[in-house]
A and B are shown apart, each in its own frame.
Chain A
Amino acid sequence: MTTHSAQLFSISTGSPEPIYRQLVEQVRRLVAAGQMAPGDGMPSVREVAQTLTLNPMTVSKAYGLLEMEGLLTRKRGMGMSVAERPAAGHSAAARAELLRPTLERAALEARQLELDPDTVLSLFTHILKEQA
């Protein structure tokens, strides 16, 4: 069990996606991918707010939503940690679904650039292999 640092997060301003939502998505992805394991401690609201220079209420809002979803649990006097949950939640299909918003944005831009699907898919395939 580890306690994660606030460096884990990165946010971007100027996005149509509110910052609290960016934080929520990042935790979902990290948990789904197993980079955050059940029982792991989350950085405190204050630490995240100060590291990323964010209003602490924005961080609380993200943590609150993740708690409601059951992804995080609040332990008395110990802050937030990643909830214990069955591995079934981590199916490839569930993880792929998390990628949807990003891909939808990419698809929108592809249409604006009038690119055909084959060109876009081959570019994406290329990028995937490049990173690996």
Chain B
Amino acid sequence: MNTPIVQLSSIRKQFGGKPVLNGLDWQVMPGQVVGLLGRNGAGKSTLLECLLGLREADAGTVTLYGEDVNALSDATRARIGYVPQKCDLFEWMTPRQMLGYFKALYPRWNEAKVEGLLARWGFDRFKLDTSIGKLSGGEQQRLAIIRALGPDPELLVLDEPVASLDPVGRREFLRELIDGVVERSTTVVFSTHILSDLERVALDVAFLKDGRITLQGQLDELLEGAHRVVGAGARAEPLSLEDLFIEVTQ
């Protein structure tokens, strides 16, 4: 039970001579819900892509469920769901076609959940038959989330999953995430700038800075331990997550 699901060791990745990941080590344990935080351009998307084997690291190793990420078995692959930051694939397909295609790829597909989400998230008959490229950014993101949740993944990796959702959409999405955590102890890794969402669902946070995970811990403990000394050391003022983000990432 205490073997990490995700293990990254000494990961290096550079783009055009500029190092983005710089000997990064990171582990995610089963059942963890981890928020990945970092400034714009810190390399969060690169990290998540390397974690999933979608991008090859220059050096270092990534294992998922104990398997090398570059040689994942189909069974392991089927346990993982991913929502990319921007999904511009399958634009020519309709949502119905795209979901049908993915359903055929996975050994397990929760049709009832997919149908329920489509209905609740505004995909009526008309939208289901419109090409994905013509849907709004928010609709495309909802669709990417539905696609990722379809196979009931045990590990869900989300890169800014709510960036183009309105507050109602975000709340609905969080609810789905929580249901997954309650019902199947899904392990979740997600990057976001919306700290209020993170506070609701993430028990752990990890800060990416200078190409490494510089701070990781339980959110509650970090908040309770974080104080800024003000007025020549006279008082220690408690910090919110937003304050902490600014202090840690600057």
Contact = CB atoms under 8 A, between A and B. Distances in A.
Contacts, number: 62
Interface string B173-204: 01100110110000000000001100111110
A7 interface: no
Contacts of B238: 16-17
Contact of B201 (A14, A20, A54): A54
A13 B94 CA distance: 38
B240 A55 contact: no
A127 B60 CA distance: 61
**Interface residues of B toward A: which range?**
20 to 34
Nearest to B222: A18
A53 B241 CA distance: 18
Nearest to B178: A49
Interface in A30-70: 46, 49-50, 52-58, 61
Given A54-B200, A55-B201, A58-B203, A16 B182 contact: no
B242 interface: yes
A61 B226 CA distance: 20
Interface residues of A, number: 21
Nearest to A55: B201
A108 B200 CA distance: 26
Interface string A101-127: 000000010000000000000000000
A55 B174 CA distance: 9
B223 interface: yes
A58 B203 CA distance: 8
B178 A53 contact: yes
Interface in B160-180: 171, 174-175, 178-179
A17 B138 CA distance: 32
Nearest to A18: B220
A56 B224 CA distance: 20
Interface in B101-153: none
Interface string B81-117: 0000000000000000000000000000000000000
Given A13-B199, A55-B202, A108-B237, A18 B223 contact: yes
Nearest to B198: A13
A57 B201 CA distance: 9
29 contacts: A13-B195, A13-B196, A13-B199, A14-B241, A14-B242, A16-B223, A16-B226, A16-B238, A16-B239, A16-B240, A18-B220, A18-B223, A18-B224, A19-B199, A19-B200, A49-B178, A50-B182, A52-B200, A53-B171, A54-B178, A54-B201, A55-B33, A55-B178, A56-B178, A56-B182, A57-B203, A58-B203, A61-B220, A108-B237
Given A14-B195, A16-B243, A55-B200, 7 more contacts: A13-B195, A16-B226, A19-B199, A19-B220, A49-B182, A53-B200, A55-B33
Interface of B: 33, 171, 174-175, 178-179, 181-182, 195-196, 199-203, 219-220, 223-224, 226, 235, 237-243
Interface of A: 13-21, 46, 49-50, 52-58, 61, 108
The 5 closest A-B pairs by CB, nearest first: A16-B238, A13-B196, A18-B220, A13-B199, A16-B240
